[in-house]
Amino acid sequence: MNVSAKIETTAKKLRGGKGNLSAAKVGGGRDRLLKAALRLGARQRSIANLGLRELAREAGMHHTAIYRHFKSIDEVAVALVEPLSAQLRVDLRFARRSANRDAKDMIRASTLRYFDYVREHPLGVIFCAREIHGGLPCLREALQKMLDEFAADSAEDLCLLGLDKLLPDYEMLLTLTRLIAQHTLFAALDYLEQKESSDVIVERTVIFVECLIAGAIARNRST
């Protein structure tokens, strides 16, 4: 099954679920619109296909009220990224720095916290996986920036263990953490779709990250 088909299959299973915006609270017009955008996004192939009137209707608002918060679907889409990622960045950093005995300990702790987040915020994960190669350039850019920030956080924390000294330079470590960020985003789709295999998927992700880093270190030592 290709990535697009996997996203659609997982989204169908989750339709009707909660928006799960990590920083949103029910009541505010902006937050209601963002939650509505996630719900509608689970029913369509891309948020780019949404209209502002449709979004206002889903949020239970008059269509003119939406313009107090957003002027376009592009603005709505980009606004979704920060609340979906902000708390996870904090949580992952806390997990890594609380488990900093060695790289393996750090990797396992942050991977477990990541998949906890995936379970708690399924529609947000579907949104990110679908739209990172979607039809809105501004949203693709925002999501790539999000992944780059996750990668930079991971690289900085791994540097605390001196891992950068085992590689040619910091840029190599950043390349590895970017690959990890991309891999874990799409591993989340398997996690959501194959609930009976969730523990296996988590363990495979841990192994992937450990082997990627170990392989880069071994390669550097042999050159």
Tokens representing 36?
């509505």
pLDDT at 63: 87
Residue with tokens 């750090």: 106
Cα gap 77→27, rounded to integer Å: 20
Give tens-digit pLDDT for 137-167. 999 999 999 999 999 999 999 998 888 899 9
**pLDDT confidence band for 21 (50 / 70 / 90):** low
**pLDDT digits over 23-80, tens only?**
334 458 899 999 999 888 877 768 888 889 999 999 999 988 999 999 999 999 999 9
Q: How far from each other are the two terminal CA atoms of the chain, in whole angstroms? A: 38
What is residue 17's predicted lDDT score, i.e. its pLDDT?
46
CA distance 199 to 108: 13
State the pLDDT at residue 9: 54
Which tops the pLDDT comparison, 15 or 43? 43
What integer pLDDT is reported at residue 75 of this predicted model?
94
For the chain, which residues make up each domain, given as ranges? 3-68, 73-222
**Per-residue pLDDT tens for 84-100?**
899 999 999 999 999 86
CA atoms within 13 A on the CB side of 209: 28
The pLDDT of residue 184 is 97
Token pair in block for residue 22 = 């990590």
Q: Taking the domain 73-222, which CATH number applies? A: 1.10.357.10
Q: Indicate the burial class of 51 (C-beta count within 10 angstroms; 0-12, 13-18, 19 or more).
A: exposed
The pLDDT mean for the chain works out to: 87
Q: What are phi and psi of 81, to 5 degrees?
A: -65, -45
**202-213: average pLDDT:** 96
Tell me, what's the pLDDT at 118?
Answer: 96
**pLDDT computed for residue 43 by the predictor:** 75
Which residue has tokens 């393996």? 104
Continuous segment of H or E residues that includes residue 173: helix 170-193
